[in-house]
Amino acid sequence: MARILQQDDALEAACRHLAAGEAVAMPTETVYGLAADATNGEAVARIFEAKGRPRFNPLIAHVADMEMARRFAVFPPLAERLAGAFWPGPLTLVLPQAEGSAIHPLATAGLDTVALRCPRGFARQAIARLGRPLAAPSANVSGRISATTAEAVQAQLGTRIPLIVDGGPTPVGLESTIVKVAGETLTLLRPGGLAAEEIERVAGRALVRGTTGVEAPGMLASHYAPSARLRLNVAQVEPGEALLAFGPRRARGAETAVKVLNLSPAGDLREAAANLFGHLAALDLGAAAVIAVEPVPASGLGEAINDRLARAAAPRDTGGEKL
């Protein structure tokens, strides 16, 4: 199994592995990432290998600051403004690649755009110390639930990587929001840990929605699939089902559920986001063949939560995604 080091003691060891072209799992504020040097093709390939991910998925390149970001992408004024407001933080910007960008084409899947994010926490320290960008998808086996604890990473990838940096549970709990910037046009490619409304407020314009599928292949319908079947927006729990609850009021029949976990008893969407993958994984470990899910409001972070739930509930044979 992978060695687990607490983040306060891990910087040197992590950077040694990364400089040697290996993949290391580490915390960001959103979810754990499986990180490798984004400028080194073999290192990036190790990520795909460990995750069993289809190769056509481009990865996010994580940077330490704007100075590093400008080496790889061209920032139109709107992108400049968004990065200024939300970096470091759970926002990924898809931008035109800069001339001479050293990001390896395996990391961008050969596109002429690049997805950049400046994360908070250990990952940012590691990037700054290494002086190179890190490609880092979520640290889970392709198509499975994203990991928000070091233990969850160990369970999925422990036999495939040398080192996991443990920073405790990730505070945001959902992947970053991805926005493509093309001149004056902002397109929401993936809802995530930063509410779309907050981005729109700073940008002073609406995000274009509904064009996700093709541009962000990680958005394949069956992403985030647990083994149990999910039944969404339930008002009535059937006997034998597990229940993923939300808020203070229970669906009818909740007392017959084999196990109940509440995303947020108080109905707080940020708390629910942070609990989402952990609760799904915990219910999935139980014996129930079906996880009933209570309705979660669609506003704010609820948009991303409902998006992940819909993917987790989707049929498994879409898009050739490996499970």
Half-sphere exposure of 176 (CA within 13 A, CB side): 30
191 binds, among ligand TXA, Mg ion, none (CB under 5 to 8 A by kind): none
Does residue 137 belong to the site contacting ligand TXA (CB under 6 A)?
yes
- The residues near 155 (Cβ < 8 Å, ≥ 6 apart) are none
Number of H helices, E strands in the chain: 11, 14
Binding test (CB under 5 A) with Mg ion, winner from 138, 154, 170, 176: 138
Q: What are phi and psi of 37, to 5 degrees?
A: -55, 115
Least distance to ligand TXA from the beta carbon of 108, Å? 6
Does residue 178 belong to the site contacting ligand TXA (CB under 6 A)?
yes
Does residue 136 belong to the site contacting ligand TXA (CB under 6 A)?
yes
Angle between helix axes 302-313 and 269-285 (nearest 10 degrees) is 20
Cα 35 to chain center, whole Å? Answer: 13
Cβ-based nearer residue to Mg ion, 7 or 156: 156
Site string for ligand TXA, 66-95 (x = CB under 6 A): --------------------------x-x-
- Cα–Cα distance for residue pair 241/260, rounded to 1 Å: 9
Instruction: Select the span of 212-220, 226-234, 272-280, 289-297 touching ligand TXA (CB under 6 A).
Output: 212-220
Query: What residues numbered 284-303 form the site for Mg ion, per CB under 5 A?
Result: none
Q: What are phi and psi of 133, to 5 degrees?
A: -70, 150
Asked if residue 146 lies in contact with residue 224, where contact means CB atoms within 8 angstroms, the answer is: yes
Q: Could you give the strand order of the β-sheet that contains 290-293, starting from the edge strand earlier in sequence? A: 229-231, 290-293, 242-245, 260-262
Binding test (CB under 6 A) with ligand TXA, winner from 45, 66, 111, 221: 111
Query: What residues numbered 268-297 form the site for ligand TXA, per CB under 6 A?
Result: none
- E strands along 108-228, which residues? 113-117, 134-135, 163-166, 177-182, 185-190
Instruction: Select the span of 9-17, 63-71, 132-140, 312-320 touching Mg ion (CB under 5 A).
Output: 132-140
Instruction: Select the span of 68-76, 132-140, 160-168, 288-296 touching ligand TXA (CB under 6 A).
Output: 132-140
Cβ-based nearer residue to Mg ion, 113 or 138: 138
Least distance to ligand TXA from the beta carbon of 188, Å? 11
- The amino acid that residue 302 corresponds to is G
Identify whether 58 is preceded by a cis peptide bond (ω within 30 of 0): no
State the residues that interact with ligand TXA by CB under 6 A.
28, 30-31, 33, 57-60, 92, 94, 108, 111, 113-115, 117, 119, 136-138, 175-176, 178, 189-190, 215-219
- Interface residues with Mg ion (CB under 5 A) are 138
